[in-house]
């Protein structure tokens, strides 16, 4: 288990897993199950209780209950999101004195991991507005579209789709024939854009903050979102242009 990546010690991870198997259980039982010294086990239980990952039941002997895995994962996701937002705000205050001379107008993204990482970063950076056109082929991005303080408008060209997205089902072969792959496009705060094409397990794309290109891309996404919001049912659409066009 990779608990250390989320701020837990190795001992705390072992204690949580042991308690998850036994809940409710005494510290003594948890220590035996985890193979950890009792003193270290009780120390880990105290820390986990402070973090809300473990609850202490009333009565004697003292017994503990582990937070359900789905609740723990949700808690860690929210904590990670909060920490990333704090980091983004901190980095945004850095005075990049040579930004215009050093920053490239466009960054090429040569693989799927690079595309998804940049898309997630773009979405999470949105403070006021996030526009996106995606599909189920990019479902990894969907959690990053939840931006409580921003206006978020997403068009999904199929299901499953992000929450609150406009869903316009389009057959995959039709999309691929028109685009040469499966499109991904995001615009954040009128200043950052990521556009990419996915093909199976691969993807290529670009990320840009160019002050001439981003407004143009935003205009195209806004038109597509507006069109999708008032679109007729798929069976009534014209055959003149694929319904996945942006």
Three-state DSSP class for residue 64:
strand
Tell me the backbone φ, ψ of residue 196, rounded to 5 degrees: -155, 165
9: domain CATH number?
A: 1.10.10.10
In a domain, 192, yes or no: yes
In a domain, 78, yes or no: no
Predicted structure pTM score: 0.60
Rounded to a whole number of angstroms, the CA Rg of the chain reads: 24
The whole domain housing 202 covers 99-236
Tell me if 52 sits within 8 A of 17, measured CB to CB. no
In this structure, the answer to whether residues 105 and 36 fall within a common structural domain is no
The predicted model gives 110-139 an average pLDDT of: 93
Query: What pLDDT score does 97 carry?
Result: 60
Domain end, chosen from 69, 89, 119, is at 69
In a domain, 242, yes or no: no
The predicted model gives 100-127 an average pLDDT of: 84
Domain end, chosen from 47, 69, 91, is at 69
Separation of alpha carbons 157 and 155, rounded Å: 7
In this structure, the answer to whether residues 57 and 106 fall within a common structural domain is no
The per-residue pLDDT for range 58-109, each reduced to its tens digit, is 989 999 999 998 888 888 888 887 787 778 778 777 766 655 555 557 899 9
Separation of alpha carbons 93 and 201, rounded Å: 36
The per-residue pLDDT for range 137-164, each reduced to its tens digit, is 999 999 999 988 899 999 999 999 998 9
Query: What pLDDT score does 198 carry?
Result: 95
Instruction: Please report the sign of the dihedral spanned by the C-alpha atoms of residue 210, residue 216, residue 219, residue 221.
Output: negative
In this structure, the answer to whether residues 105 and 210 fall within a common structural domain is yes
């Amino acid at each position: 288990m990779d608990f250390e990546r989320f701020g837990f010690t190795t001992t705390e991870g072992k204690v949580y897993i042991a308690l998850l198997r036994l809940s409710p259980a005494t510290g003594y039982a948890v220590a035996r199950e985890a193979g950890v010294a009792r003193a270290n086990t009780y120390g880990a239980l105290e820390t986990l209780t402070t973090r809300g990952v473990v609850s202490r039941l009333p009565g004697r002997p003292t017994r503990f209950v582990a937070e359900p895995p789905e609740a723990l994962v949700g808690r860690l996701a929210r904590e990670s999101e909060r920490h990333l937002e704090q980091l983004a705000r901190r980095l945004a205050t850095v005075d990049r004195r040579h930004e215009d001379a050093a920053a490239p107008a466009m960054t090429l993204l040569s693989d799927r991991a690079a595309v998804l990482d940049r898309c997630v970063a773009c979405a999470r950076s949105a403070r006021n507005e996030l526009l996106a056109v995606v599909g189920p082929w990019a479902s990894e991005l969907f959690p990053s579209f939840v931006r409580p303080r921003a206006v978020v408008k997403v068009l999904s060209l199929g299901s499953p789709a992000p929450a609150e997205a406009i869903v316009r089902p389009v057959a995959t072969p039709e999309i691929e024939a028109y685009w040469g792959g499966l499109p991904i496009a995001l615009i954040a705060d009128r200043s950052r854009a990521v556009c990419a094409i996915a093909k199976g397990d691969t993807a290529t794309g670009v990320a840009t903050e160019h002050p001439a290109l981003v407004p143009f891309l935003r205009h195209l996404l806004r038109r597509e979102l507006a069109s999708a919001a008032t679109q007729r049912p798929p069976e009534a659409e014209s055959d003149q242009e694929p319904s996945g066009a942006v």
